[in-house]
Amino acid sequence: MLLSFSSDVKSELLKISNISSCCFHAQVYGLVLFAHFTSSNISITTENKSVFDFYKNVLKDNYGCSVKTYTNGKRKITAAIEDEKSIKSIFSEFGHNPDETTRINYANFQNECCISSFLRGVFLSCGFITNPEKGYHLEMVVPYKKLSSDLIRVINELDLNPKYIMRKGNHIVYFKDSEDIEDFLTYIGAQNSVLIIMNKKIEKDIKNKVNRKLNFEMHNLTKTVSAATAQVESITYIKKTAGLASLPDNLRSVAEARLKYPEASLNELLLFIDDDISKSGLKHRLDKIIEFSDCLKEKAEE
């Protein structure tokens, strides 16, 4: 199965090592709090095997919890703490009261460095980011309104401005601006992923510039061909009816050159005309030839 860009980002975050004990505590707190965190069930349900293993192993090995695992359908897997003793232990570890509304407990941030680790845990738990080839969107899906408000407050303190929307009963904290996404990912430690986004932006910018240039050139080419076709038709009509000799000398030389070089641009056509005229002067003469042709047609219709 092909991994998504979200999975790649989370894999990068999980490879971060040499984390201080205070930051590790904050990261696990973010991971646990923003998954399923209630007095009857502490669990995570995910399609990401690496996140699943990290959640399961850290609660088992570091906090001595009994963790059960389930398979939900073909992709989703769940790691859950269901026994009352382990749940009480986790609530106590992170300073939460099972009877109170779920909010962020700032006491879990011993130092300023802990905030980035906490947000890393949050993203591992409930974050998603689109493939930068398709667009720019990073979101975190939060189950509770007050918890989402707390998360926005934490992120705002970093001079980032996430947006909020409610979708299917969940509270979505998200970024749409690519630079905000890059700043957020840099802050939580996903520098390699940021480089990928920046490279994709450069590629898109180059492609857009090339496409604009090609479209501009195609537009000009279409105009040139259309104008030349109209000129040749008018000159051909004059030649078949009144004859090119009916044209003034300055127009006749231009008409003969256009018939001889029907696909030439105005700049190219100037090379085949003896008169010392400008590009605008050449266009003026060609317009006069078309007017002459139109007058002949009108007289013929009368």
Q: What is the pLDDT of residue 207?
A: 87
Maximum mean pLDDT: which of 70-84, 146-160, 227-241 = 146-160
Q: For the chain, where do the domains classified as CATH 3.10.28.10 start and end?
A: 5-189
Q: Are strands 138-142 and 163-167 parallel, antiparallel or unpaired?
A: unpaired
Residue 162: pLDDT over 80:
yes
Quick: pLDDT tens for 109-126. Answer: 999 999 999 999 999 999
Quick: pLDDT tens for 3-39. Answer: 699 999 999 999 998 899 999 999 999 999 999 999 8
- Terminal Cα-to-Cα distance of the chain (whole angstroms): 76
- CA separation for the pair 41, 59 (Å, rounded): 14
pLDDT band of residue 151 (cuts 50, 70, 90) is: very high
Span 212-223, average pLDDT: 86
- In percent, the amount of the chain with pLDDT more than 90 equals 62
Whole-number mean pLDDT of the chain?
A: 91
- CA separation for the pair 162, 141 (Å, rounded): 13
Span 81-93, average pLDDT: 92
- In percent, the amount of the chain with pLDDT more than 70 equals 99
Span 132-158, average pLDDT: 95
pLDDT band of residue 1 (cuts 50, 70, 90) is: very low
Residue 2: pLDDT over 50:
no
pTM reported for the whole predicted model: 0.74
Per-position b or e across 31-66, b if 16+ CB within 10 A of its CB: bbbbbbbeeeebbbebbbebbbebbbebbeeebebe
Q: What is the pLDDT of residue 3?
A: 66
Residues 159/184, Cβ–Cβ less than 8 Å = no
**If you ran DSSP here, which 8-state letter would residue 275 be given?**
S
| Superfamily for domain range 5-189 | Homing endonucleases (3.10.28.10)
**CA angle 186–190–196, rounded 5-degree value:** 95
What is the token pair recorded at 250? Answer: 């300055």
Q: What is the pLDDT of residue 139?
A: 97
